[in-house]
């Protein structure tokens, strides 16, 4: 039951993080156990790409193929079964987690709390042309990774400063709400 509630909470987090320019609320249910709700920017849609009992993969993409895309991955990790949130990790576990992100890329890390209290690890590629912005958190044993990338038809792979800034502002306003039955 806790796993299902945590999946629900995580799903809400995922949909609420897609736009700084809110218009109307969108909700998506996942196996009647969780609900994503949030405001998508004009022209953006959230599509479930795959799902199983303990995993979910979504994409928040625009009708404009040059616009940035947010890929969302949720999966239960037995190693984190007793971890309710990112801040519950001890220093050694957090360092091991960071090492996994920095194996292939030169990145910087920042940890912050959203307005609703969700702890996020920001993983940002360094250099002049960052091609991804990664947000990571843990919610009741579930790893949640949100990766912002340039659109498929964007001129180059680098994210603009404006796209990065909008996404950072968006992540700070995330909200996670349980489904009331």
**Which two structure tokens, joined as six digits, stand for 179?**
């489904």
Structural domain total, the chain: 1
Is the model's pLDDT at 136 over the cut of 90? yes
Residue 179 covered by a domain? no
Quick count: other Cβ atoms within 10 Å of Cβ 162?
8
Residue 156 covered by a domain? yes
Confidence of residue 112 (pLDDT cuts 50, 70, 90): confident
Residue 168 covered by a domain? yes
Residue 48 covered by a domain? yes
The predicted structure's pLDDT at residue 5: 39
Compute CA distances 168 → 14, 31, 111, 118, 121, whole Å.
14, 30, 12, 14, 11
Residue 181 covered by a domain? no
The predicted structure's pLDDT at residue 64: 87
Report pTM: 0.76
CA atoms within 13 A on the CB side of 159: 24
Range of 94's domain?
2-172
Residue 167 covered by a domain? yes
Confidence of residue 16 (pLDDT cuts 50, 70, 90): very low
Q: What does pLDDT average to over the chain?
A: 76
Residue 94 covered by a domain? yes
The predicted structure's pLDDT at residue 109: 94
Residue 107 covered by a domain? yes
The predicted structure's pLDDT at residue 95: 94
Instruction: Find the mean pLDDT for residues 95-121.
Output: 85
For the segment 22-74, what is each residue's pLDDT rounded down to a tens digit?
Answer: 446 666 655 554 555 666 677 778 888 998 888 889 888 888 888 888 898 98
Report the CATH number at residue 8. 3.40.1000
């Amino acid at each position: 039951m806790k796993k299902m509630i945590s999946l629900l909470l995580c799903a809400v987090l995922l949909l609420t993080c897609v736009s700084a320019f809110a218009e109307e609320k969108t909700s998506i249910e996942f196996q009647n156990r969780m609900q994503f709700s949030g405001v998508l920017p004009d022209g953006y849609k959230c599509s479930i790409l795959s799902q199983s009992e303990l995993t979910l993969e979504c994409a928040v993409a625009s009708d404009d193929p040059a616009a940035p895309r947010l890929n969302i991955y949720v999966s239960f990790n037995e190693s984190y079964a007793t971890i309710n949130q990112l801040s519950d990790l001890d220093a050694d576990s957090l360092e091991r987690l960071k090492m996994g992100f920095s194996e292939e890329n030169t990145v910087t890390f920042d940890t912050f709390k959203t307005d609703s209290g969700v702890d996020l690890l920001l993983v940002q590629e360094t250099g002049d042309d960052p091609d991804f912005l990664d947000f990571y958190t843990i919610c009741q044993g579930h790893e949640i990774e949100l990766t912002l990338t340039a659109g498929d038809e964007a001129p180059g792979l680098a994210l603009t400063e404006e796209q990065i800034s909008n996404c950072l502002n968006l992540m700070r306003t995330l909200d996670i709400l349980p489904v009331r039955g």
